[in-house]
Structure formats: C-alpha cells, structure tokens
Amino acid sequence: MTELQDRLGLETPVVQAGMGGGLARSELAAAVSAAGGLGTIGILPAPFLAAELRSARERAPGKPVAVNLLMPFLTREHVDVCVAERPSAVALFCGYDRDLVARLRDAGVMVLHQVGDVAGAKRALADGADGVVVQGVEAGGHVLATQPLTTTLPAVLAVAGKHPVLAAGGIVDAADVRTALDAGASGVVAGTRFLLTDECHAHPAYKQRALGAHDTVVTTLFSLGWRDPHRVVRNAAVRRWCRPDGTARTTPRVLTAATLPLARLVPMSAAGRMVARQRLGVPMYSPAAILRGDDERLVEVTPLYAGSSAARIDTIVSAREAVQLLTP
C-alpha cells in the first residue's frame, strides 16, 4: 500500500479526475470511492458543489471524496465550501495561490496540485501542496504538459522528495497503473476511462464520439475565459475553425482574446445558457462540455474532452468496473 492510499484510506491507488462543469458529479465520485478509489467532484457553482459533495458522502458513507478546483474560475465561495465541508482532498489546477493552500491544509484537507512540468511542481510544493499530479501531454481536457508522461513523471519525481506524485495522462488499464507505480508514482489519476462510464454526466453522444476515438487534437478553440490548451476529439467546430494540427485560426483566436475579460466575469451558473447559444458559424466557444439532457446538436460545437488513450477504450462500463480494470 502506498503512503497516499494509507493517508486517504484508499483500497487502490486510483484517483478519478475531477472533470468540471458537471461531468463529474456525486454519482460518479461516490461510485469510484465506494469501489475503493478516490472519487472527485469537478468544480461547479459553489452551492451546487456543496450539495454534490454531501450527496457523494451519503452515497458512499465513510469513503473519501475529493474536490477539483480550477483556479481560473475559483471564487471565495468555493473555498468556503471546501473549508466547511472538508473533503478528503482538494486538487488545484491551472493557477497558484499560497494562501489558499494554507487555508485548506489548516482545515485538515490534503492539497494536491496538478502540474505539467518541473517548474510547476517546484512552485506547487513551495506553496505548501501535500503532493502533485503530473500530467503527460497524452491527457485529455486541459493540458499543461508538452512532453509525454514517460518524460514528465521521472523529472517531477526527481524534485518532489518525499511528497507523493500521481501520474496522469494515458492511464486506462491496470498495466498502465503498474507501469506508473513501478516508475515511482504513488498513484494515478484517470480521466477518459471514467468519462466513459455509466455514471459520468456527459451526454451520450459525447461518450460515443470519445469511445475508441483515434483523432484527438490539442487546441485552444474552446477557451472563452481560459487561456490554456485542451485535448479534444475533433468535431465540426474543430474541423472548421482549426488548422490540421489543432491550432485555432485567426478569427476564433482574436474573438477569444478580445472577450477574455468579460468571459471571466460570467458566473458558472450561466454556463448552460452560453452553451445553448453556440453555433458553428460563430467561433466563440466556452470550455463547458455537453451534458445529459442538452440538445444533441451541441456535440458539434462543444469541447469533446478526451485523452489520446481513448483509442484504447472500446466500451462504456460502470465506475466500479472501471476501478477494477485500473487496479493492478
């Protein structure tokens, strides 16, 4: 058993990525935690986040549950929820805040910080994070790494000392987990494998596009309110507004840059209304993914986040089965 498992009470060193915007809710997080891993609720409007965290604990009593906080969209209310509710761990992503780390740790919350390189790991640990999640460029969703996991993992392990390091990017089965553990990781974080589960709140059409997808690309097309690149499955929006390598064309880049200050002011609760207005002919696309109950036409104009490892996943399973498939 790794130190990470011992501290969080995990039966297996498998962490479900906290896919934000409603993809990873209490149903998914609780199912993963009940199966022995660490389920994670993605960032949501603060009152909803609190309700989902309580629901996950009710669904998986006595099991650890984590929360993922995306720094570009973080509010004081999100922090207050985490301090009051005290999830087992909080994962931070795409930004740094030493005072936030201190406040969470003072509340007894383990702080993990997701990074893409050695510089990010050094900054996170200097800020007081308990451990780091290191990405490889294979990862789906927002990607900070520019190198594969086989390069980033040993580099970060070399500077992490006794702090736990979790590996993310391209993790879809038990062999991948064993490889990461043998390389020195304390655990793994899997996203795409848990995206393709019954409990994930992604729209069925999104799941079908990601299932077995061989054609993912890193782009900045879906970046209203966000600067960092993301790996997605190609859809109509990507084919129309990106070059073959995924680079966004001039029009969406200019529009996204011009509207960034205003986009940051839009509350998370308005994300659904923004997504519903997205059209192929107007390349102003938010990071919000298509969820259950949304109009299926939106599958062509919303980000279909998935890692390059989606090509190796050929079935949608329960979250419990996904944990079993990942456990060495």
Residues 6+ apart with CB under 8 A from 305: 19, 140, 141, 191, 195, 210, 230, 231, 232, 289
Which domains, and CATH codes, for the chain?
3-201+313-326 (3.20.20.70), 204-309 (no CATH)
Is 181 exposed, middle or buried (CB count within 10 Å of its CB: 0-12, 13-18, 19+)? middle
Helix (H) or strand (E) holding 158: helix 149-160
Strands 216-219 and 187-190: unpaired
Question: 136 to each of 16, 191, 244, 261, 302, how far by Cα in Å?
Answer: 16, 12, 22, 29, 23
Asked if 148 and 183 touch (Cβ cutoff 8 Å), the reply is no
Whole-structure pTM value: 0.95
How would you write the pLDDT of the chain (328 residues) with one tens digit per residue?
A: 778 899 999 999 999 999 999 999 999 999 999 999 999 999 999 999 999 999 999 999 999 999 999 998 899 999 999 999 999 999 999 999 999 999 999 999 999 999 999 999 999 999 999 999 999 999 999 999 999 999 999 999 999 999 999 999 999 999 999 999 999 999 999 999 999 999 999 999 999 999 999 999 999 999 887 778 999 999 999 999 999 999 999 998 888 887 776 655 666 666 667 788 899 999 989 999 999 999 999 999 999 999 999 999 999 999 999 999 999 9
CA dihedral 120, 125, 126, 129 (to 10 degrees): 120
Q: Report d(CA 98, CA 96) in Å as an integer.
A: 7
Q: Report d(CA 326, CA 188) in Å as an integer.
A: 9
How far is Cα of residue 101 from the mean position of the Cα atoms in its chain? 19
DSSP character for 225? T
φ, ψ at 78 (rounded to 5°): -60, -45
Q: Which residue has the tokens 């107007």?
A: 282
Asked if 23 and 42 touch (Cβ cutoff 8 Å), the reply is yes
Q: Which residue has the tokens 């019954």?
A: 198
Asked if 318 and 245 touch (Cβ cutoff 8 Å), the reply is no
CB count within 10 Å of CB 117 equals: 18
Q: Which of 145, 254, 200 is nearest to 31 (CA)?
A: 200
